[in-house]
Amino acid sequence: MNDIISITAPIYAAVLIGYLVVRLGWFRPEDMRMMGQYVLNLALPALLFTALATRPLSAVLRTDYLLVMLAGGLATMALSFGWFSLTAPDKLRRALAVLGSACPNSGFIGYPVMLLLFPDLAGVILALNVLIENVVVIPIGLVLMDLASGQAGLSPLRLLARVLRTLLRRPMVIGMIAGLAVSALGWELPAPVLRLTGMFGTSAAALSLVVIGGSLVGLPMKGNKLLAGQIATVKLLLHPAMVALAAALLPALGLAALSPDMYAAAVLSAAIPMFSIYPILAQERGLGGAAAIALLLATSGAFVTLNILLAWLT
């Protein structure tokens, strides 16, 4: 158990440090947003580019892993849609809950965890998770929220196309596409280029965790606490369970089973709390309080659930 704690303790210590430096006034909440933009727009794109560009395409496009994460994510969203159709007060809150149930914070929390567990695979795992989240999970969730908000004059397909256009302009997605292109073409990048992108990439892990902690200061804590608790529970328990089930069903479909490391990475990736901009997306629709409470509950609760999963998987 001490070995398990030694993995998760540095993660949550960095989150706590981020919380304290903002709480004590050493940094402002606005500083955390600026640091978060650096991580999202420079550090993580550089990390993804380096991880993908320096490997052959066959080692990057792990279709078995992608299928597991895709099936597990869609199953979680479907079950969440059914559950929150019964418990959520309205369609907009149901859509908010569905989005929060299946979209982990792979960049800010998932990558640091994978870096400690699987240092050689962490960049590829991040890229695969980002691909599923940005192409499937986030677009479906945002379309559901737009439809529930009464976006007039746009069909679900047009809403989806609009969301995808927005996502494709994100630096993380651009870095991933560029890395995949270099890998597919078999180019060997000059050492100075790799040192530059590697330098930015190595700054992502610690800073992203500090940003998570600092961003928790000042979150609006007035909202539907019952709904928030359900969202956090679904994210931490149902999502990894559905991914584990999807991985177990792969051999039954005639596909190769995931390797032990990739299986552990898939289940743990699904057990990561929801992404940090979740309250921001909700606040645009007047639901920032419930999303902030769900994020806080999931982030704190994950210390327990991640330790339990690590003890089971390792």
Q: At what angle do helices 260-270 and 239-249 cross, to 10 degrees?
A: 150
Q: How is the chain classified by DSSP, letter by letter? A: -HHHHHHHHHHHHHHHHHHHHHHTTSS-HHHHHHHHHHIIIIIHHHHHHHHHHTS-HHHH--HHHHHHHHHHHHHHHHHHHHHHHHHSSSHHHHHHHHHHHH-B-IIIIIHHHHHHH-TTTHHHHHHHHHHHIIIIIHHHHHHHHHHHTT-TT--HHHHHHHHHHHHHTSHHHHHHHHHHHHHHHT----HHHHHHHHHHHHTHHHHHHHHHHHHTTT----S-HHHHHHHHHIIIIIHHHHHHHHHHHTGGGTPPPPPHHHHHHHHHHHTSPBPTTHHHHHHTTT-HHHHHHHHHHHHHHHHHHHHHHHHHH-
**The CATH classification of domain 2-313, taken from the options 1.20.1530.20, 1.10.10.10, 1.20.58.740, 3.20.20.140:** 1.20.1530.20
Residue type, 4: I
pLDDT tens for the chain, 314 residues long, are: 566 788 888 889 999 999 999 999 999 988 988 998 899 899 999 999 999 998 888 888 889 999 999 999 999 999 999 999 999 988 999 999 999 999 999 988 999 999 999 998 999 999 999 989 888 898 888 888 888 876 555 666 777 777 778 777 888 889 999 999 999 998 888 999 989 998 998 888 888 999 988 888 877 777 678 999 999 999 999 999 999 999 999 888 877 789 999 999 999 999 999 988 888 778 777 777 888 889 999 999 999 999 999 988 87
* Token pair belonging to 39: 């991580």
Whether the full predicted model's pTM is greater than 0.85, yes or no, is yes
- Cα–Cα distance, 22 to 31 (Å, whole number): 9
Domain-by-domain residue ranges, the chain? Answer: 2-313
